[in-house]
Structure 1
Amino acid sequence: MTEIFDTVQSRRTLIRSALAAAGGLAVSSCVAPAAKMAAAPRPIPVPVRPVPVEVAKLGPKAPANIRPELFKRAIAALDQHAGRIPTHDRIAIADFSQPSYRPRLHLVHLGTGECESFLVAHGIGSDPSHTGLLQRFSNEPNSEASCEGAFLTADYYVGKHGDSQRLLGLDATNNNAYERAIVVHSAWYSNADMIAQHGKLGRSQGCFAVGERELAKVFERLGPGRMIYSAKV
């Protein structure tokens, strides 16, 4: 157990060291005002040469724990935004048709078909009554809701919620994500023990909030320059 704890701590230390070396620690969070986000330089990823094939036509079969229609739409989104997404080996799919007590953030390796699934919270504005089910998406500032569409994973930083990752919305349904500070971070209310106590996770303010013990793995599997696809199909 001590070795596992030391490994996790070492991984988090390495992440923080890499962040500091890359340009210092930014102060921002899921709830940061647009003014604070605007103060930081907007990350502009440098795309690689566009993939010459249409991924949607040649894409792999849906993993067993992802519904085929949702997977098909995610692959189509990857194809649509291929020139803006540098790395196509892995994608993340957030299936917000599922209740929050189910692992519904799926990280898929498109080459091998391997899929790992994680708990993830949705926004307060998407579920005002806290039913555990996402009721609606919104792209509006201050809505505190989750938004749908394709996101590009961008740079890491350390903010109010600790280690976090900025996202750029690629569709009209989520193009305010950067200004709204919709990011990937960890939270106590996304830990698995919330399900045992309450039968559902807590809610974010629109961010993809995963369990505190799962963030390092999500960062390691996803990384910058890949796509997260959020939908309720």
Structure 2
Amino acid sequence: MIIFRLIAIVLFFVTAMPVPGFSLSVQKKPVPQQTPSFSLFPELQNKIDPKVFTMALAGYHSLKQQGKVARDGLLTIIDFNRPSVDERMFVIDINRGRLLYSGLVAHGSGSGENYAYSFSNQSGSHQSSLGFYTTGQTYDGRNGYSLRLLGMERGINDNAERRSIVIHGADYVSHDYIRRTGRLGRSQGCPAVSLDSYQEVIDLIKGGSCLFIYHNDVEYTSASSLLNPDIARFQAGYGGQS
């Protein structure tokens, strides 16, 4: 018994001693990226529906993995579930947990009056389009300083460029207009913002950031490849794009 114990002790010290020219490296498993909890964003608590925020983050990460988001950590949410008299456009720094901007935003005249309830990807509809976009370049057009939006979802908002769906300033987006009419004015489908803040908003989000236009629309949520991995895999299998 004593001999066996001595052998065990010798073996322990031999295996513990480093061998010259040899190193043992232990590979650590990569830590999966965690989606930030809504509770980490105190400035959003009374402004954004947690469900909408979670959906927006899911689409943001999908686009980022596809290399379609050039500006890391910047996410804009437009919540068309809310009436036009409410602030419903939010720009968020998700890396720092900060709300950078919140304000009024108009929907298309074909989508509804105070509430938006109808959406389209078709030219001439004057309706807003739901889903995920990335922001493009700025230009000066008939509505002044404007920001191009690039629709990222086929069949849902991929006609945005053809329809000239852009962010621009409008005089019908103001609290004074709400006092006079009971709602905001409406665009031809563009998410128009206040003349007091449109330049600030455009400069804040231009150049490849992610923008999500939301409504509790069953047709959209069931068709979005960015929110439904099964649809994304099907489209990829047939050479489609999200």
**Where in structure 2 are the equivalents of 1:84-99 lying within 5 Å?**
84-99=68-83
C-alpha spacing 1:54/1:80, structure 2 compared with 1 (3 Å): farther
Counterpart in 2 of 1:212? 195
Counterpart in 1 of 2:169? 186
Counterpart in 2 of 1:81? 63
Counterpart in 2 of 1:126? 111
2:110 match: secondary structure: helix
**Where in structure 2 are the equivalents of 1:100-179 lying within 5 Å?**
100-115=84-99, 116-127=101-112, 130=113, 132-172=114-154, 173-179=156-162
Residue among 52, 64, 77 paired with 1:70: 52
Counterpart in 2 of 1:58? 35
**Are the equivalent residues in 2 in contact too, given 1:192–1:211 (CA < 8 A)?**
no
Counterpart in 2 of 1:30? none
* Equivalent pairs, count: 178
- CA deviation profile, 1:124-182 (whole Å, cap 9, x unmatched): 1111xx2x000111111111100001011000000000000101000121000010000
- CA deviation profile, 1:76-121 (whole Å, cap 9, x unmatched): 1111111111112211100000000001011111122222211000
C-alpha spacing 1:70/1:53, structure 2 compared with 1 (3 Å): farther
Provide structure 2 residue ranges, at least 5 long, that are not aligned to the other structure: 1-29, 217-242
Higher relative contact order (CA 8 A, sep 6+): 1
Amino acid at match of 1:186: G
User: Aligned equivalents of 2:181 and 2:193: distance in 1?
Assistant: 17
C-alpha spacing 1:125/1:110, structure 2 compared with 1 (3 Å): same
Cα offset, 1:221, TM superposition: 2.2
Amino acid at match of 1:119: L
User: Aligned equivalents of 2:191 and 2:120: distance in 1?
Assistant: 14
User: Aligned equivalents of 2:31 and 2:95: distance in 1?
Assistant: 15
User: Aligned equivalents of 2:90 and 2:192: distance in 1?
Assistant: 14
Cα offset, 1:220, TM superposition: 3.0
Identity of aligned residues (%): 34
C-alpha spacing 1:200/1:79, structure 2 compared with 1 (3 Å): same
Amino acid at match of 1:113: G
Provide structure 1 residue ranges, at least 5 long, that are not aligned to the other structure: 1-51
C-alpha spacing 1:60/1:157, structure 2 compared with 1 (3 Å): farther
CA-atom RMSD in angstroms: 1.7
Cα offset, 1:60, TM superposition: 4.5
Cα offset, 1:54, TM superposition: 7.4
- CA deviation profile, 1:61-84 (whole Å, cap 9, x unmatched): 252111010001100111111111
* Structure having the higher Rg: 2
Query: TM-score scaled by structure 2?
Result: 0.70
Residue 221 (structure 2) pairs with residue 221 (structure 1): no
